[in-house]
Amino acid sequence: MKIKKEAKEIWAEYERGRSSKQSVGLYENYKNNENFYIGKQWEGLNAPDLEKPVINVLKRVVSYFIAMIVTDDITVNFTPFERKDGQEMIARILAREVEKSWERGKMKEANRLSVRNAAVDGDACVHYYYDVDAEILRAEVVENIDVFFGNTQSADVQAQPYILFATYKPLDDAKELARKHGADPELLAPDNEQNIMGNNETDNDLVTILTKYWMEKGSVWCQVSAASVVIRKAWDTKYAMYPIAYFSWERVKNSCHGAAAVTGLIPNQVAINRLFSMAIHHIKTMAFPQVIFDQTKVMGNWKSGPGVAMGVIGSPNDAIATGFRVPDMSNQVLLTIDNLIERTMQFMGASDSALGTVRPDNTSAIIAAQKATAMPLEIQRMEYFRFVEDGVRIMVEMMRTDYGPRAVMVDARYVMSAEDIQALASAGIDVPSEIELNFDFGNLDAANMDMNVDIGSSAYWSELSQLQTMDNLFSKGIIQDAILYLEGIPDKYIRNKEKIIAALEARQAAARAQPAQPATPATPQIAPRPPEGVTPPAVF
């Protein structure tokens, strides 16, 4: 496939991608789903006299979904497939660097927002990039309406011929970006169109910036452009995979876009709000008694209020008015509302026990019901773990390309030999727990392929499960070596773990260095002969 690199050609691909999304109703679903999730559920209704209550069932259930998937803190564990020299040390270095990037680059926040986007909009997309100034990896969340795949029939990111995504910058920022990369900033102008959310981009002074990735000669290339100008010419990123992670809430066959959790249930939400609105209107108009009066006897309009004089025609002793009360509203209305709410939440997979709205009379039964309710979310949870794992592999690939040699802290036992540890211990010098090492991340070519990446909670790898398993193995005597036991414990649960292991290794090395003492033969004990005439006692 010939890759188009001219600014107008890339803009044409962008327009064609927008038309494709428009044809499948993505923009309309995006706007409706976002409005219903945040509570704007009466958008566009012209009924000033009608109450507009919002019983936001969708937000509560979707919030429950998000909490169930991302409540567990994400932990990455690298395991070498082959126990070669240095592989275990590389695994520890990668795990530490990924955790550091997650904290400094706020990638955990990006992952949580991605789950929210997948549940509400159908898809989640994260773009990873290297911040040259801060020398760290970062992640930005891209809306599914702003990412365009070269093959719209497939959701496989790494199999795409090209990937295009749009960002929107103020005109001054876009011109500054053009100056930075040697492009003519005067060729940039605000886009003369409205975006899908109804905001006028011309008034907002925004410029659409298109970033395009494609594969060429075994590596990923990138180019940045606008409608009529190339802001940054194509360059080789030297990445072996696209720096984009993507997942859908529900996969749709032959489509790169998935189905959101709320799309098919918006009619249920509309029915709930409408029934509740009509119930309120009935109460307002019919709950209080109405006064009915004889217009032939009352002069003018009826005047209510204490002490108000009213003139009548004829004898005031005759009946002038009476009270009238309409029949009460049928109880089926409220029952229908409750039933509709309950069934909507039930079919979405959120029961009362899962949401904690039942009395805890039987705790065991409630816990069992919560676990059973959470089972349908395992598919989304596994897909989320796959999404995070893809992101971790992208980060390792970017470390290989962008980091180069840099100082890292490694366990002392990976660098120092047992003899060195013994020498320091014999000299009374504390063995350091960690040592600074100049590590070249450019040597991660083989390591990235030979590492098994395990992502957080019990479905994959859990630190607490690992700790409990190691305790059981050690207490039952299956593992008798203290060093082997400590190596299997996650670092954060034992302070100065490396120093303890180094001390144990020094003790074992010292014990092996001592010459073995010959065992002293035991002196045989000869029982005294009994006196004559005395029978010795029988021995059983």
Type and span of the H or E element at 334 = helix 332-348
Cα 439 from chain centre: 31
Report how far residue 138's alpha carbon sits from residue 106's, in angstroms, rounded to the nearest whole number.
7
Tell me whether residue 57 is in a domain: no
Q: Tokens for 127? A: 């773009």
Report how far residue 69's alpha carbon sits from residue 48's, in angstroms, rounded to the nearest whole number.
41
Residue 182 burial by Cβ neighbours in a 10 Å radius (0-12, 13-18, 19+): exposed
Per-residue pLDDT at 533: 54
pTM of the predicted model as reported, rounded to 2 decimal places: 0.73
Residues 6+ apart with CB under 8 A from 334: 279
Type and span of the H or E element at 276 = helix 266-286
Q: Do residues 96 and 409 lie in contact, with contact meaning Cβ atoms separated by under 8 Å?
A: yes
Type and span of the H or E element at 453 = strand 451-455
Q: Do residues 249 and 348 lie in contact, with contact meaning Cβ atoms separated by under 8 Å?
A: no
Per-residue pLDDT at 371: 52
Tell me whether residue 345 is in a domain: no
**What DSSP letter does each residue of 16-41 carry, written as one string?**
HHHHHHHHTTHHHHHHHHHHHHHT--
Q: How many domains does the chain have?
A: 1
User: Where on the phi/psi map is residue 129: left (φ > 0), alpha (ψ -120 to 50), or beta?
Assistant: beta
Tell me whether residue 454 is in a domain: yes
Q: Do residues 144 and 121 lie in contact, with contact meaning Cβ atoms separated by under 8 Å?
A: yes
Q: Do residues 418 and 509 lie in contact, with contact meaning Cβ atoms separated by under 8 Å?
A: yes
Cα 345 from chain centre: 22
Angle formed by the axes of helices 107-121 and 378-398, nearest 10°: 140
Report how far residue 260's alpha carbon sits from residue 269's, in angstroms, rounded to the nearest whole number.
15
Tell me whether residue 119 is in a domain: no
Tell me whether residue 142 is in a domain: no
Closest-CA residue to 511 (of 425, 449, 431): 425
Per-residue pLDDT at 529: 57
For residues 149, 154, 158 and 161, what is the CA-based torsion angle, rounded to 10 degrees? Answer: -50
Q: Tokens for 334? A: 């409220």
SS3 state at 520: coil
Tell me, what DSSP letter sits at residue 214? E
Tell me whether residue 476 is in a domain: yes
SS3 state at 255: coil
Residues 401-430 as b/e (b if ≥16 CB within 10 A, e otherwise) read bbbeeeebebbbbbebeeeebbebbeeeee
Tell me whether residue 446 is in a domain: yes
Cα 79 from chain centre: 23
> One-letter amino acid identity for 272?
I
Per-residue pLDDT at 197: 47
Report how far residue 224's alpha carbon sits from residue 231's, in angstroms, rounded to the nearest whole number.
5
- Furthest CA-CA distance within the chain: 154
Report how far residue 98's alpha carbon sits from residue 443's, in angstroms, rounded to the nearest whole number.
17
Strands (DSSP E) found in 132-185: 136-142, 147-149, 162-170
- Range of the structural domain that residue 488 is part of: 409-513
Q: What is the pLDDT along the chain (540 residues), one digit of tens a residue?
A: 789 999 999 999 999 999 999 999 999 999 999 999 998 888 877 777 778 888 888 888 888 888 888 765 667 778 777 766 677 888 888 888 888 888 888 888 888 899 999 999 999 999 999 998 888 899 999 999 999 999 999 999 999 999 999 999 999 999 999 999 999 999 898 876 545 444 444 456 789 999 999 999 889 999 999 988 999 999 999 999 999 999 999 999 999 999 998 888 888 888 888 888 888 877 777 766 666 777 677 766 766 666 666 676 666 666 666 665 666 777 777 788 787 878 777 666 655 544 545 454 444 444 444 455 556 688 888 899 889 889 999 999 999 999 989 888 887 777 777 777 777 777 777 767 778 888 888 887 655 555 566 665 544 456 667 777 888 888 888 888 888 888 888 777 777 787 788 888 888 777 777 665 555 555 555 555 555 554 555 443
Q: Do residues 211 and 364 lie in contact, with contact meaning Cβ atoms separated by under 8 Å?
A: no
Residue 478 burial by Cβ neighbours in a 10 Å radius (0-12, 13-18, 19+): exposed
Tell me whether residue 496 is in a domain: yes
Report how far residue 37's alpha carbon sits from residue 260's, in angstroms, rounded to the nearest whole number.
12
